[in-house]
């Protein structure tokens, strides 16, 4: 994840050194994304890039290469996914000096290879079957495309998730609903969620309910959205309870429920409905206060 190179030089109005961050957490309020209410443009930071892959997610990278004009034999390409904890900029910072060597180990997470036949050349040998099931490969590919967020890649993600749905997996329909939500296709999202519920291998009901709540909210069905979110907070799912899940402290759900209730309260404009409006506002505030909001740097970006 990249940030401005001035991040260590300017952490707060007192220009605290980097070592002070542990004792003065408020010094990072500008660098860590909390809104600055003062006219201090030099203290405004923004991410340059973020290549993190959160839990349960995937990523896609597209490479192009030129096949030599005289190539006739099948061409084998091998790819490796490698990971190192810190890049050279951070290593130089905490080791002190430009001459610091980034000798942290590079871990190879995955290796794969594929052989491409060349037109007019020799036939390629049969590819070794992958140990990963096809539906899972399609699903991961679709997730990687969907996380990019561009219109063309969302269409490709929809096609990938359609292959997952063909395999009888509710995950395919659920993820298609997520794509449709991003595109604003609410009717298609509702249909996909219903297919996720009735698939041969259905998606988790709490996931379906969460996205149903988002669809209902965008459709203006605030009472239905609030009912969906209350079900999640109460963990009204036998399988979730069996697995010892407890969604009552999920800050994302609680904040969303608080916002839905607040929007619902704004519709009660008739003075005769003031008690109902006040009850909704009290519940909205209570849900927000119950949310254990972590610092911005600790908020996970989950798929």
pLDDT tens per residue, range 231-278: 999 999 999 999 999 999 898 999 999 999 999 999 999 999 999 999
31-89: pLDDT as tens digits: 445 555 555 666 666 667 777 788 888 888 888 889 888 888 898 899 998 888 777 77
Confirm whether 52 is domain-assigned.
no
Q: Are residues 261 and 149 in the same domain?
A: yes
Q: Are residues 103 and 176 in the same domain?
A: no
At 201 the three-state DSSP class reads strand
pLDDT band at 294 (very low <50, low <70, confident <90, very high): low
pTM of model > 0.85: no
Residue 28 has pLDDT above 50, yes or no: no
pLDDT value of residue 8: 34
String of b and e for 58-73 (b: at least 16 CB within 10 Å)?
bebeeeeeeeeeeeee
Q: Are residues 95 and 178 in the same domain?
A: no
Of 129, 144, 179, which one is at a domain's C-terminal end?
Answer: 129
Q: Are residues 192 and 280 in the same domain?
A: yes
Domain that includes residue 199, residue range: 136-298
Q: Are residues 228 and 96 in the same domain?
A: no
Residue 299 has pLDDT above 90, yes or no: no
- Domain count across the chain: 3
Confirm whether 55 is domain-assigned.
no
pLDDT value of residue 185: 96
Q: Are residues 13 and 95 in the same domain?
A: no
pLDDT band at 5 (very low <50, low <70, confident <90, very high): very low
At 169 the three-state DSSP class reads strand
Q: Are residues 228 and 107 in the same domain?
A: no
For Cα atoms 204, 205, 206, give the angle at the middle one, nearest 5 degrees.
Answer: 95
Query: 158, 156, 148: which is closest to 181 by C-alpha?
Result: 158
Of 109, 129, 149, which one is at a domain's C-terminal end?
Answer: 129
Confirm whether 79 is domain-assigned.
yes
Q: Are residues 145 and 289 in the same domain?
A: yes
Residue 18 has pLDDT above 60, yes or no: no
Of 74, 95, 129, which one is at a domain's C-terminal end?
Answer: 129
Q: Are residues 97 and 177 in the same domain?
A: no
67-81: pLDDT as tens digits: 888 888 898 899 998
Structure tokens at 190: 């509702």
Q: Are residues 179 and 214 in the same domain?
A: yes
Q: Are residues 121 and 141 in the same domain?
A: no
Confirm whether 202 is domain-assigned.
yes
| Integer Cα distance of 145 and 152 in angstroms | 9
Confirm whether 196 is domain-assigned.
yes
Give residues with Cβ within 8 angstroms of 240, minimum separation 6: 204, 206, 247
Question: H-helix or E-strand containing 110?
Answer: strand 107-116
Confirm whether 58 is domain-assigned.
no
Q: How far is CA 70 from CA 25, 73, 76, 116, in A?
A: 61, 9, 15, 15
What percent helix, strand, coil does the chain show, rounded to 5?
Answer: 50, 10, 40
Q: Are residues 15 and 93 in the same domain?
A: no
Confirm whether 227 is domain-assigned.
yes
Q: What is the CATH number of the domain that holds 149?
A: 1.25.40.10
pLDDT value of residue 1: 46
Confirm whether 165 is domain-assigned.
yes
CB 45 within 8 A of CB 36: no
Rounded average pLDDT over 196-210: 97
């Amino acid at each position: 994840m990249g940030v401005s190179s001035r991040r260590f030089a300017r952490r707060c109005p007192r220009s605290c050194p980097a070592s002070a961050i542990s004792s003065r957490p408020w010094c990072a309020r500008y660098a860590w994304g909390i809104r600055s209410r003062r006219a201090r443009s030099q203290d405004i930071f923004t991410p340059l890039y973020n290549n993190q892959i959160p839990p349960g997610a995937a990523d896609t990278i597209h490479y192009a290469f030129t096949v030599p004009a005289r190539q006739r034999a099948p061409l084998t390409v091998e790819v490796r996914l490698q990971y190192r904890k810190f890049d050279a900029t951070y290593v130089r910072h905490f080791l002190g000096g430009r001459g610091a060597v980034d000798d942290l180990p590079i871990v190879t997470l995955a290796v794969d290879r594929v052989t491409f036949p060349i037109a007019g050349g020799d036939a390629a040998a049969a590819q070794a079957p992958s140990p990963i099931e096809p539906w899972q490969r399609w699903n991961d590919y679709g997730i990687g495309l969907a996380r990019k967020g561009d219109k063309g890649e969302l269409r490709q993600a929809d096609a990938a998730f359609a292959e997952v749905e063909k395999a009888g997996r509710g995950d395919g329909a659920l993820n298609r609903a997520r794509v449709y939500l991003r595109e604003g296709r609410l009717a298609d999202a509702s249909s996909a969620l219903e297919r996720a519920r009735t698939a041969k291998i259905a998606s988790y009901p709490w996931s379906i309910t969460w996205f149903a709540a988002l669809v209902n909210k965008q459709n203006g069905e605030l009472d239905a959205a609030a009912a969906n979110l209350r079900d999640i907070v109460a963990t009204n799912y036998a399988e979730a309870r069996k697995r010892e899940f407890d969604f009552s402290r999920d800050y994302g759900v609680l904040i969303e429920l608080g916002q839905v209730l607040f929007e619902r309260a704004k519709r009660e404009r008739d003075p005769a409905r003031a008690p109902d409006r006040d009850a909704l506002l009290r519940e909205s505030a209570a849900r927000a206060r119950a949310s254990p909001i972590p610092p911005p740097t600790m908020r996970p970006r989950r798929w």
